[in-house]
């Protein structure tokens, strides 16, 4: 039986999965809720939802919102599952996990942050195609240009809290997937 166990973002299980994931995230910024993915008490992976990205091509049009109304959008900021003993516990397991995640985080997000969830977004780095999201009923609504932004030392020109440094040489375009609740 599939169970999503709520964990902290510092839990050793999610940190271990982040270390081997293709994107190797260094952590999560902003709001977030993380889960361990268990089947009959066996760990298969971890998944996390977090704050929506401020700018994503196609997302606002898909939901009919503007960039100031993003609190009801959850970004599937991390998803990593692995086979145990060479297999997943059931057919379509990798699709069942995000579906269970959406059902659970809608409740947890409302309880923790007080915002009703209207939908989800996720980014998939090329050359990956996001097939599991498509199989789970998500829609590819756009593609990013691939710029990454990091906070650098110095004074910024706005309230962002530092100088923004844009990497325009190592582009990593991502497909943007969305799903309404």
Q: What are the pLDDT digits (tens) for 138-151?
A: 999 999 988 766 65
Element (H, E) at 178: strand 174-180
Q: Residue 158's pLDDT is what? A: 56
What residues contact residue 62 under an 8 Å CB cut-off, 6+ apart?
Answer: 119, 139, 141, 178, 180
pLDDT tens per residue across span 14-54: 999 999 999 889 888 889 999 999 999 999 999 999 999 99
Segment 58-70 shows an average pLDDT of 94
Q: Which domains, from first to last, does the chain contain?
A: 2-147+173-180 (3.40.630.30)
Going by their DSSP bridges, the two strands 119-125 and 139-143 should be labelled as unpaired
Cis peptide preceding 127, ω within 30 of 0: yes
Q: How crowded is residue 136: how many other Cβ atoms within 10 Å of its Cβ?
A: 21
pTM of the predicted model, to two decimals?
A: 0.88
41 phi and psi angles, rounded to 5 deg = 65, 15
Q: Residue 65's pLDDT is what? A: 94
């Amino acid at each position: 039986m599939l169970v999503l166990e709520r964990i902290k973002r510092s839990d050793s299980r999610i940190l271990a999965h982040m270390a081997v994931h293709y994107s190797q995230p260094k952590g999560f910024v902003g709001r977030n809720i993380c889960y361990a993915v268990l089947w009959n008490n066996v760990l298969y992976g971890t998944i996390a939802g977090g704050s929506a990205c401020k700018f994503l091509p196609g997302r606002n049009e898909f939901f009919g919102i503007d960039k100031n109304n993003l609190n009801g959008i959850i970004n599937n900021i991390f998803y990593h599952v692995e086979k145990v003993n060479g297999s997943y516990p059931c057919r379509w397991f990798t699709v069942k996990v995000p579906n269970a995640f959406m059902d659970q985080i809608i409740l947890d997000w409302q309880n923790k942050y007080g915002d009703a969830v209207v939908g989800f977004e996720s980014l998939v780095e090329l050359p990956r195609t996001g097939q599991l999201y498509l199989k789970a009923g998500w829609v590819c609504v756009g593609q990013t240009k691939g710029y990454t932004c990091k906070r650098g030392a110095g004074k910024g020109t706005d309230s962002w809290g530092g100088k923004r440094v844009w990497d325009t040489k190592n582009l990593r375009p991502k497909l943007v997937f969305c799903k309404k609740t």
